[in-house]
Amino acid sequence: MAKTKKKSADATPAPEHPEIGEKPKVAEKPDTKEKAGKQEKPKKPVPQTRIFKGTAGIVTVLLLRLVAGGVFAFSGFAKAIDPWGSVYKFGEYFAAFGFADFEWSLLFLAVSAATVEFMLGVFMILGIYRRFTPAMMLLAMVVMLPLTGYLAITDAVAECGCFGDALVMSNWGTFAKNLVLTPIIVYLCVYNQYVKNVYGFAVQWIVAFLSMAYALVLAFIGYYIQPLIDFRPYPDGTQLVSNEATGEEPEFAFVYEKEGERRTFAIDSLPDSTWTFVDRHEITHSAPAANDAISITTIDGHPADSVLLRTGEQLLLLFPDLKNVGIAYTYLINEMHDYAQSHGVDVAGLTSGDSIAVAEWNDLSMASYTLYSIDDSTLKMIARGNPAVVFLRDGRVVWKRTLQSISMDYITRERDMEGIGSDFNRSRWLKVLSIGYFVLLLSLLILNRTHLLVLFSWKRFFGKKKPGKEDKNTAEV
């Protein structure tokens, strides 16, 4: 009997049964991360220093993002709008530093520089690629700061061309701008990573793609047709030649004859009665240009400003570089000349080439129009392209395009010269492209960040259990 009691006392007590309404206890599962030997990496603490502390530090980073990003985005935008201007500027740099053999790369460098600058500016403003973006900006400043300092001292190139023709700055002004911008970028290299970005990591590549596409489309239109914004002195609608009368009395020359000899006399130096009056004609002065910088001469160097007509319609063919004009364009140029002549439109050619280049071009193209000489920089300011076409009416610029953007269909389809360039509306193209770009960025932002608003609302209104829910489950059991 004692053994039985002892056995029962030593026996393991039976497991307690859960009472009705209680859920059975379930053994806690070990953490899968701890089981696999993995541990979460602690978040990198935000530094607290004198130049970056709390909310003030975050606001400082956001403001500096706008400054650095705005400079790069504007610079890239100005270059993308007018790639021809960047091509000319890079050509000046190559000539100044002895890299003339690499002129074949000018267009690639111009478009690449514009696209990269614009993308970096957008990245910085939106706070994406927070480490990569300031690092690339700093790399650019490592090159540009000493370069602009050298240009400021030596003036090897007249202007840096950082903002194209949109904002012309002196070399010293550009150097000062880079001196201010460099420490800003250094600051962002350290602290930009600690401030949140606008877009999530998963969609940053879409922002990069849209920005690259926008810049490339602007550059394509600017190079193939004309810049969508004309920052130069002669945009459409400019009075290239004054069509106003001078207000002075007309001057006449008088022709007299004596013993078979004819001579011309002015009104204040008429001959005596031994001379016989034959005829008179008005003295025509050269048409004054609306801009004093425009000066046209014959290839031999004689003044020919009267080539630009004060009244009527005129087609100008511009050849900045005759040696690099493709022979395939000669047929189209001659067809345009014949078409213009048949519609009563005067045609004149302007070039900055020398007499040898002009003679070679006349032999090659069998041109039936006359080429005149004009300053190279003025020629490139009037219109972009090699060759380019400008249509004037009463001395005013109606339209201008590169020759490669004009096809034979335009010439045979349109009834007048004005219709050839009427299909290219700069402001409309720019509005469509820019609005489309910003709408896509905004739509992407809404799709990318809406879930955060939904989660916040869910936790705010449905995060806590409703009272009585636990009692209901108990009753069901």
Q: Could you report the per-residue pLDDT of 281-299, keeping only the tens digit for each?
A: 666 544 444 454 588 888 8
* Neighbouring C-beta atoms of residue 149, cutoff 10 Å: 16
Specify the pLDDT at position 37: 46
The predicted-structure confidence for 58-80, as pLDDT tens digits, reads as follows: 899 999 999 999 999 999 999 99
Specify the pLDDT at position 397: 92
Specify the pLDDT at position 452: 67
Residues 302 and 404 in one domain: yes
Cα separation, 90 vs 102, in Å, equals 10
**Burial annotation 12-44 (CB, 10 A radius, 16+ → b, else e):** eeeeeeeeeeeeeeeeeeeeeeeeeeeeeeeee
Residues 264 and 161 in one domain: no
| Strands laid side by side in the 346-351 sheet | 296-297, 371-374, 346-351, 313-319, 388-393, 396-402
Q: Is residue 18 part of a domain?
A: no
Cα separation, 20 vs 22, in Å, equals 6
Residues 70 and 215 in one domain: yes
First to last CA, the chain: 44
Cα separation, 115 vs 309, in Å, equals 40
Q: Is residue 234 part of a domain?
A: no
Task: State the chain's mean pLDDT as an integer.
Answer: 82
Specify the pLDDT at position 281: 63
Specify the pLDDT at position 43: 58
Specify the pLDDT at position 93: 92
Percentage of residues in the chain having pLDDT higher than 90: 42
From the centroid of its chain, how far is CA 429? 13
The predicted-structure confidence for 88-144, as pLDDT tens digits, reads as follows: 999 999 988 888 888 889 999 999 999 999 999 999 999 999 999 999 999 999 999
Residues 270 and 411 in one domain: no
Instruction: Please write down the HEC assignment for all residues of the chain.
Output: CHHHHHHHHHCCCCCCCCCCCCCCCCCCCCCHHHHCCCCCCCCCCCCCCCCCCHHHHHHHHHHHHHHHHHHHHHHHHHHHHCHHHHHHHHHHHHHHHCCHHHHHHHHHHHHHHHHHHHHHHHHHHHCCCCCHHHHHHHHHHHHHHHHHHHHHHHCCCCCCCCCCCCCCCCHHHHHHHHHHHHHHHHHHHHHHHHCCCCCCHHHHHHHHHHHHHHHHHHHHHHHHCCCCCCCCCCCCCCECECCCCCCCCCCEEEEEEECCEEEEECCCCCCCCCCEEEEEEECCCCCCECCCCCCEECCCCCECHHHCCCCCEEEEEEECCHHHCCCCHHHHHHHHHHHHHHCCCEEEEEECCCHHHHHHHHHHHCCCCCEEEECHHHHHHHCCCCCEEEEEECCEEEEEEEHHHCCHHHHHHCCCHHHHCCCCCHHHHHHHHHHHHHHHHHHHHHHHHHHHHHHHHHHHHHCCCCCCHHHHHHHHC
Examine the pLDDT at 9 and tell me if it is beyond 50: no
Q: Which domain holds residue 209?
A: 54-224
Residues 307 and 338 in one domain: yes
Residues 368 and 403 in one domain: yes
pTM score: 0.76
Give the mean model confidence (pLDDT) for residues 356-381: 89
Residues 270 and 220 in one domain: no
The predicted-structure confidence for 232-273, as pLDDT tens digits, reads as follows: 989 988 888 875 544 445 566 777 777 777 777 777 677 777
Residues 74 and 113 in one domain: yes
Q: Is residue 418 part of a domain?
A: yes
| Strands laid side by side in the 252-258 sheet | 261-265, 252-258, 276-282
Residues 188 and 269 in one domain: no
Examine the pLDDT at 1 and tell me if it is beyond 50: no
Give the mean model confidence (pLDDT) for residues 359-380: 89
> Which of the pair, 18 or 111, is modelled with greater confidence?
111
Number of domains forming the structure of the chain: 3
Q: Is residue 147 part of a domain?
A: yes
Q: Is residue 364 part of a domain?
A: yes
Percentage of residues in the chain having pLDDT higher than 70: 79
Residues 405 and 302 in one domain: yes
Q: Is residue 144 part of a domain?
A: yes
Residues 322 and 273 in one domain: no
Specify the pLDDT at position 272: 76
* Neighbouring C-beta atoms of residue 131, cutoff 10 Å: 10
Q: Is residue 453 part of a domain?
A: no
Residues 202 and 314 in one domain: no
Local confidence band at 42 (pLDDT 50, 70, 90 cut-offs) = low
Q: Is residue 475 part of a domain?
A: no
Examine the pLDDT at 451 and tell me if it is beyond 80: no
Give the mean model confidence (pLDDT) for residues 209-234: 95
Specify the pLDDT at position 175: 95
User: Beta partners for 254?
Assistant: 265, 280
